[in-house]
Structure 1
């Protein structure tokens, strides 16, 4: 059975911000490609379809709360989101899971991102749990060096759990093994996760920059930006629990004292203007525990900030309307 790389989203807002849908990635013509990756590499069978797998369509469903209208003035980006330009933002749907071969999802996810990059578009990925950056980052092979910017309460350096090496506790360990990934900045660390002392030491030995949320609160996000090399290629992976539960309540592992929305906006705009953001994902939202859809709206607003900042930094060949 031939299985598609992507299928259309399923909710009332079928696409993110009312974007046209393209599931034939060989025909993709876009500056920005939104794609959902609902399924990760589960540690136990009951987590194959976890709550995070519902997040891509839940985020899309909040489009009219994320953005009332594309032509309205948006104070976060200083004008209409697309800056009155002919920006082509396309929704590529979701990477489906084949029930007869669950392990193939990661391969299709990687292939989908390779096609998006090959079409010259910036991938913005809606997860899914935090295992999905592993196939995403593999798709950037040959496009390095890439500086990985990781927002998370947790370290994510486990080598394996239950024999699974590509699970949600291992994305940064796997990224560290990729030749095209150079420096790694981990921002928002606090409290406890699955990481053990040996995992912490592995991160230190690699040279990962481990920045706690408290350091950000004390010194400001600009101090973090100042440590990130200029003129780099940056990939931004955002675990929703890296943000404070006041703005991201719908997560499986909430941790108090997280990164604020204002700090995230500062980081995104700073990265866009000091180098080139080559892609982004937002993962680990659990829609059934969300409060007033705040988590999904926050995720969408982070994406809006990236797109709005990037178009104003002339990332795309998008002429004025």
Structure 2
């Protein structure tokens, strides 16, 4: 930061568990010569900040704690605390106060959704769809990094779609290709990352996510979880079955993540490559439909009656009616999308890419068909490992947008 910064303010006392957010009335202008201009929209002052400070301000656009940052050891943690304390003294970062200055509409959350507390998201008719980040990748067996997925999707999603307050204009946005209005009348919210303990043991971390998803579903919200590695799907499914009872799961992935049904200690043994063992092992999951599988594998040790598969791109050559005949119409469904279902020529920002996957348009079509025809009560997007640039985040954001639009559109009766 330069010497033009505002004078010292009362800084928040920083601990690893202090929930902090960027000052809501700040605006960040484009970088020039490696520096970004930060403007306080009420008081009028401007400062220039370097790349490290700009990255920290962007990181706190969604309320989070220091504990959610990668653990680089005591020295790095102390330096991070010092930097964030300095931002607080300059009035750039503040303790998150949901009852204080409101987060402006179109800022901070996924697709520019307002950032709410969980309590606010559950109140009255505040929202229909609630995003929650799960920056957890302790379940990755090959290459970590998907813990950075939620933050990157929030940064890039607004370039695909930005929600608007209905006071300012018609809800949704017009798609010039189809002429349809996308997410018309659908109210979005983002509760940030659901836990400050995402880099610790899976047990308490998963319990928090399961509880959050269950509470959202129990209040009629559609929870959308931004992962994270694929193991986070298990607590999401548990949260949904706790509310809906029987559940179907629509699994989009290059890998089956399944060998046999299991009901043992998932917190000790479950990872992103076997998570469906426990999903199938839950008797409340009466259908697991898998699309896009192309990993070479041994046959499942125990084929299960709940399991249906359309490997590779075979679902594109199968009449939709034949697919839907295998998906009981009365079930609520959870959609889990591993981004490696896309061909690496389309998206390579994932831990275990495999050739022979869907194009963007093909996967959009499949998701739209499935989400239009069956009742979707939960969605997660997993295994996104951000790389340099924004293209991958834009592709994933658009997939999520199209699935959400189909899942929330009025249905005149399922096929």
**Change over 3 Å in CA distance of 1:20–1:260 after alignment to 2:** same
**Larger RCO (alpha carbons 8 Å, 6+ apart):** 1
Q: How far does the alpha carbon of each residue in 1:150-206 deviate from its partner, in whole angstroms, 9 at most, with x for none? A: 0111111256999942211122111112122111111101033xx544xx232x244
Instruction: Tell me what 1:106 maps to.
Output: 206
Q: Which has the larger radius of gyration?
A: 2
| Residue 18 (structure 1) shift | 1.1
What CA distance in whole angstroms lies between the structure 1 residues aligned with 2:182 and 2:257? 33
How many residues matched?
300
| Residue 19 (structure 1) shift | 0.7
Q: Pairwise mapping of residues 1-321 of structure 1 onto structure 2 (< 5 A)?
A: 10=59, 14-25=108-119, 28=122, 29-42=126-139, 50-67=144-161, 71-75=172-176, 78-83=179-184, 85=185, 87-98=186-197, 101-103=200-202, 104-142=204-242, 143-158=244-259, 164-192=268-296, 196-197=298-299, 200-202=300-302, 204-219=303-318, 223-288=322-387, 292-313=389-410
- Aligned-CA RMSD value: 3.2
What CA distance in whole angstroms lies between the structure 1 residues aligned with 2:121 and 2:158? 28
TM superposition outliers: structure 1 runs of 4+ over 6 Å = 6-9, 159-163
Task: Give the SS at the match of 2:406.
Answer: helix
| Residue 242 (structure 1) shift | 1.3
What CA distance in whole angstroms lies between the structure 1 residues aligned with 2:20 and 2:365? 34
**More displaced stretch, 94-103 vs 170-179:** 94-103
What CA distance in whole angstroms lies between the structure 2 residues aligned with 1:138 and 1:179? 11
What CA distance in whole angstroms lies between the structure 1 residues aligned with 2:251 and 2:175? 26
Task: Give the SS at the match of 2:158.
Answer: helix
**Change over 3 Å in CA distance of 1:43–1:311 after alignment to 2:** closer
TM (norm. structure 1) is 0.81
| Residue 98 (structure 1) shift | 2.4
What CA distance in whole angstroms lies between the structure 2 residues aligned with 1:224 and 1:7? 46
Q: How far does the alpha carbon of each residue in 1:44-69 deviate from its partner, in whole angstroms, 9 at most, with x for none? A: 7x97xx31000001011112322267
What CA distance in whole angstroms lies between the structure 2 residues aligned with 1:191 and 1:308? 30
**More displaced stretch, 112-121 vs 220-229:** 220-229
Instruction: Tell me what 1:319 maps to.
Output: none
TM (norm. structure 2) is 0.64
Asked whether the 8 Å contact 2:241–2:247 carries over to 1, the reply is no
| Residue 23 (structure 1) shift | 2.4
Task: Give the SS at the match of 1:296.
Answer: helix
What CA distance in whole angstroms lies between the structure 1 residues aligned with 2:163 and 2:128? 19
**Change over 3 Å in CA distance of 1:76–1:167 after alignment to 2:** farther
Asked whether the 8 Å contact 2:253–2:338 carries over to 1, the reply is yes
Instruction: Tell me what 1:318 maps to.
Output: none
**Unaligned regions of 5+ residues in structure 1, if any?**
316-321
